[in-house]
């Protein structure tokens, strides 16, 4: 499990992370983890390098049940990412930062 590596794998060629903001873990802080995002860093605009140490022990991709990741917003030079949750199963989803031609997808079920 390594959310940092998962994020890097989602980036397109030439795409760079500009900012990351974390919210609470799971369902409102349920089931906190060691070595995760410190509470004082939640709700704060951070750089990718700032977040690397906090993203090593958890994953954006989770199974059903209580979410096992942080609510997260990520801004890149091309897209905005967030965590999509369906009955506790989590994954990263994104949308273009600017109007872009193409068919949108339907996250969720």
Q: Is residue 103 part of a domain?
A: no
Read off the tokens for 22: 């974390």
* Position 109 in a domain: no
Enter the pTM of the model.
0.90
What is the pLDDT, as a whole number, of residue 31? 61
User: Quick check: is 108 in a domain?
Assistant: no
Q: Which of 30, 24, 40, 35 is closest to 1 using CA atoms?
A: 35
Percent of the chain residues past pLDDT 90, beyond the cut: 67
* 80 within some domain: yes
35-75 tens-digit pLDDT: 889 989 999 999 999 999 999 999 999 888 778 899 999 99
- The yes-or-no verdict on residue 32 having pLDDT over 80 is no
Q: How many structural domains are present in the chain?
A: 1
Is the residue at 46 inside a domain? yes
The answer to the question of residue 105 being in a domain is: no
In a domain, 87, yes or no: yes
Cα–Cα dist 41/21, whole Å: 8
Cα within 13 Å of Cα(17), Cβ side: 22
- By residue range, what is the domain housing residue 87? 3-96
| Confidence (pLDDT) at 65 | 79
């Amino acid at each position: 499990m390594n959310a940092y590596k998962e994020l890097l794998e989602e980036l397109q060629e030439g795409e760079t992370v500009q900012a990351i903001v974390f919210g609470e873990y799971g369902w409102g802080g349920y089931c906190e983890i060691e070595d995760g995002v410190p509470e004082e860093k939640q709700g704060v605009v951070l750089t990718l390098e700032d977040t690397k140490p906090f993203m090593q022990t958890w994953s954006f991709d989770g199974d059903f049940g209580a979410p096992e990741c942080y609510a997260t917003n990520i801004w890149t030079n091309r897209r905005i990412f967030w965590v999509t949750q369906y009955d506790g199963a989590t994954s990263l989803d994104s949308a273009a930062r600017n109007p872009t031609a193409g068919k949108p997808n339907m996250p969720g079920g």
